[in-house]
Structure 1
């Protein structure tokens, strides 16, 4: 019996963040296991379009919410016409059979929901969860609780995945952990990896650095507008010589030279950067609202409260700066990184397994 056609929906494949990398990993895994699939998106990088069965919207609306609505409509049309049997969406849009919840759930006030953008997003989300057969993949316990509360999801309608650790990435990070030799320099070398400054608390990091004259911070990956704002903030606090803001580039090289990852995020789902830092043997200072902050509680880092003050961040930096404490955290992060490496790729197997079970059940009808 022929396997069913799976349609993967993701907003864009031009700039690859965590969500996009996860979507591509699922697609490639499906291909390896012989499942026919296609990817529906607004636009894709040419090198991806040349290697994968990607369908791009013929006409892309100018606004994000309109583009998401167009993707939802196209996916629904493909399923009705028989061009797709199973729809897996990485965006909160429906209808779809499966949803990979890469994003936090955000609630909007009733005033916002009157605006076209938020009215459209709310409608698309409601359509996603209205079917009793719809199934979701969540990345953490808190995320699952929040979605269950808002959309009244029963436990049999979702699965909490193992930590999202890509096998190839994990191998590279473990190599760094084995090769890196800590340097006892005059300054502690801090690293922040973020695209959105406010969500990831980059401004908090810079304000804390301003009060720690022996700390050097490298921020990698900020959007251009955020990068400009953060440079201005560092200048206003007279700490700009100790704050490097660079484009997203060789994260592995940056991790190799970092003493600590600083991640005082205000809004965060899991914080994949936390797991990646630990895989590289780099201790982490992060807020407790990051799902993967739980991996720091055995000594691999310091957990800050959900809305930390600058004083609390400075205190954590001073504690982490102490030679004995930093050495202990490094040892713990190496151990925790080894544990995480043992479950690399498990999340991917869980997703494909669920799709395969659905495939067999539907084929048997």
Structure 2
């Protein structure tokens, strides 16, 4: 059967982008013809996947999004599909919507002043969310966590039967403590990280959303004598954050590594993953770090923060965010041995399902396709 996955933009280091490709590969392996319809594609294309680049039109992000919606609608009209899966927020007829973004209305209410609700961007965001989650939206919504299910039901009256909550979908590593110690030593030597250094790692490309400024200020609060260095693995505009590090006097203790293909290995070798995000529907790096046997310092704004709390391998800061609380939590975690956090993280990763999300999404789509075929045969 023919399936189209709709995505604004593909680039190699995005979590949503990886999920889109991973689902596409599963569908291709099941014998389907799969096209990713996007504005632009950066990087290699997996074997068997068809990519339709529609181009970027418009001067602002909002304008480009609206043009892409129009172009995607025209493409779908010319190329009828058996199933359409939206990975981006689009006011289009879709069979599934992969809800990777947090609830927009709730996020704005928490993080923006009241006047922002009169902006064109806000109106557009709420209209899109209303289209997707109200009664006329896609019949199947793939939810990555259950954290904001109550918000969608309260604000948009979403039928709970439409909300299909998936487990996380990281790669199963089955790492043991002895392997952790051995690999940690090798990777730290490769990265030239001395054993006595406290390596704090932040992984992510959206620096503002991930709370990089918060992390830099937290590292600045720790005495230089403790040899604490923040490494940032991710691509993005970093000039503002380099200036902040300089202003805090820690320009030598904040290192930008750029986008990395070895982010999981860096997590394994780090003493702590810091992720003080402002808003994160999931925060896949949190469970990735647990699978690497690395403790986590994060905020309750992340959907997967519940896994950090349940594992006992880190600290979750409650809402509303308090910078001083972050700094105290960092100091407390650094005062403890990394090994205790590692044992707790690896135990949790061995016992919990952090892995079957894409397989579950695949099963939901196959069930939809099977029912679609049956309805065609028996009208």
Band the TM-score falls in, shorter-chain normalisation: 0.7 to 0.9
> Would the alpha carbon gap of residues 77 and 362 (structure 1) be closer, same or farther in structure 2, given more than 3 Å must change?
farther
Residue 174 and residue 30 in structure 1: after superposition, are their counterparts in 2 closer, same or farther (change >3 A)? farther
Normalised TM-score (structure 1)? 0.86
Q: Which residue, out of 306, 318, 325, partners 2:331?
A: 318
> Taking structure 1 as reference, are residues 174 and 293 closer, same or farther at Cα in structure 2, changes over 3 Å only?
farther
Asked whether the equivalents of residues 209 and 216 of structure 1 are also in contact (C-alpha less than 8 Å), the reply is: yes
Structure 1 counterpart of 2:241: 230
Q: Does 2:210 align with 1:200?
A: yes
The structure 2 residue matched to 1:128, chosen from 122, 128, 132, is 132
- Contact 2:276/2:298, CA 8 A, preserved across alignment: yes
Report the alpha carbon displacement of residue 63 of structure 1 after superposing the two structures with TM: 3.1
2:90 equivalent to 1:93:
yes
Identify the residue that residue 41 of structure 2 maps to in structure 1: 44
**TM-score, scaled to structure 2:** 0.83
User: Aligned partners of 2:21 and 2:164: how far apart in 1?
Assistant: 20
Report Cα offsets for 1:20-62 as digits up to 9, x if no partner.
1101111111000112221111111363287521111156334
Alignment match, 2:313: 300
Q: How many residues align?
A: 355
Aligned equivalent of 1:220: 233
> Alpha-carbon deviation of 1:146?
2.4
Equivalent in the alignment of 2:191: none
Separation of aligned partners in 1, 2:101 and 2:176: 24
In the TM superposition, residue 211 of structure 1 has moved relative to its aligned partner by 1.7
Pair 1:355-2:360 in alignment: no
Identify if the C-alpha distance between structure 1 residues 206 and 172 changes in structure 2 by more than 3 Å, giving closer, same or farther: same
Of 116, 141, 160, the match for 2:165 = 160
- 1:198 aligns to what SS in structure 2? helix
Q: Distance in 1 between matches of 2:244 and 2:13?
A: 27
Deviation of residue 176 (structure 1)? Answer: 6.9
1:103 to 90, 101, 104: 101
User: Could you tell me whether the CA contact under 8 Å between 2:40 and 2:55 is conserved in 1?
Assistant: no
**Whole-angstrom CA distance in 2 between matches of 1:207 and 1:46:** 34
Q: Offset of 1:122 from its aligned partner?
A: 4.0
* Shift in Å, 1:179: 3.5
Q: Return the match for 1:335 from 338, 347, 351.
A: 347
Rounded Cα–Cα distance in structure 1 between residues aligned with 2:179 and 2:19: 22
Partner of 1:177: 180
Q: Which residue of 1 aligns with 2:301?
A: 289
Q: Distance in 2 between matches of 1:174 and 1:357?
A: 39
**Structure 2 vs 1, CA of residues 274 and 8 (structure 1 numbering), >3 Å: closer, same or farther?**
same
Structure 1 unaligned blocks of 5 or more: none
- 8 Å contact kept, 1:7–1:86: yes
Give the direction of change, closer, same or farther, for the CA distance of 1:336–1:139 in structure 2 (3 Å limit).
same
Alpha-carbon separation, structure 2, partners of 1:191 and 1:59 = 34
Unaligned runs of 5+ in 2: 189-193
* Structure 1 residues 43 and 189: CA distance shift in structure 2, 3 A: same
Mapped contact 1:39–1:53 kept (Cα < 8 A): yes
Call closer, same or farther: CA 1:85–1:70 in 2, change over 3 Å: farther
8 Å Cα contact 1:65-1:121 kept in structure 2: no
Cross-structure match for 1:30: 27
Structure 1 residues 49, 140: closer, same or farther in 2, change over 3 A? closer
